[in-house]
Amino acid sequence: MPTLRSLFFWPRPVRAAVLTPWLLALAACGSSPPVELYRLPSAPLGVTAAPPSAATSGVWLVSSVRLPDYLDRDALLWPSGATGLRALPGQRWAEPLRDAVPRVLRADLARLRGTDKVWASPLPGGLRAQQVLRVEVQAFEASADGKALLLSARWWLADPDGKTTALVRQFEQRVPLQDAAPDTLVAAHREALWALAQDIARTAEHP
């Protein structure tokens, strides 16, 4: 097989015929597949929230929304076998879920309770929270059979002074998946978070 140096002594047409396929193959190996970015919409998809109830009272501080470590990545995940997860090639979150989920959940709670009733830390000057909300997401991925998006979370609402018993609840939501398209998967994530916000707001007002 000729060496690269020896090719330069060959006639130009022959050299071009030999080098062109090699250069094209090299360029193909060096190129990266296109990446598509997906975001969790700020507003619930296809949902018009009713005006906050006049009975809603008390300022909430959303103290923390924790996600498991396996969700701390950019790739959209899809089940692989009974317990595995695989990253969908070229499909990524535009915003890390550790940032998007708390932001979206606070926005949904504000829609349900009123924009002046739900805050993140630090609170504006002169404002005091009557309740502190903490959320722990335990699972947030497609089921092993790929037929549903599962959201499992524990949340608790407590008096910041510890004078009353905290309200603790477990939440489970299963959103059907019509197909494995990334848009379908993202929409299901959004629907599940809206359901979580509704559960928190409804249960807290009527425990």
How high is the pLDDT of residue 45? 79
- The domain locations on the chain are 1-31, 36-205
Cα(25)–Cα(12) distance, integer angstroms: 20
Single-letter residue type at 126: G
Parallel/antiparallel/unpaired status of strands 36-38 and 84-93? parallel
pTM, two decimal places = 0.80
Alpha-carbon radius of gyration of the chain: 25
Q: Which CATH architecture has domain 36-205?
A: 3-Layer(aba) Sandwich (3.40)
Cα(29)–Cα(31) distance, integer angstroms: 6
Residue of 37, 2, 41, 42 whose CA lies nearest to 22: 2
Q: Is 16 helix (H, G, I), strand (E, B) or coil?
A: helix
For the segment 97-132, what is each residue's pLDDT rounded down to a tens digit? Answer: 999 999 999 999 999 999 999 999 888 888 899 999
The Cα angle at residue 144 between residues 64 and 85, in degrees rounded to 5: 65
How high is the pLDDT of residue 164? 82
Per-residue pLDDT of the chain (207 residues; tens, 9 = 90+): 555 555 455 555 544 454 455 555 555 555 566 899 999 998 887 766 555 654 567 899 999 999 999 999 999 999 998 889 999 999 999 999 999 999 999 999 999 999 999 999 888 888 899 999 999 999 999 999 999 999 999 999 999 888 888 999 999 999 999 999 999 999 999 999 999 999 999 988 776
Preceding peptide of 33 cis, ω within 30° = no
DSSP string, 71-119: G-SSEEEEEETTTEEEEEEEEEESS-HHHHHHHHHHHHHHHHH-TTSEE
How high is the pLDDT of residue 162? 80
Residue of 174, 158, 175, 177 whose CA lies nearest to 166: 158
How high is the pLDDT of residue 48? 63
How high is the pLDDT of residue 14? 47
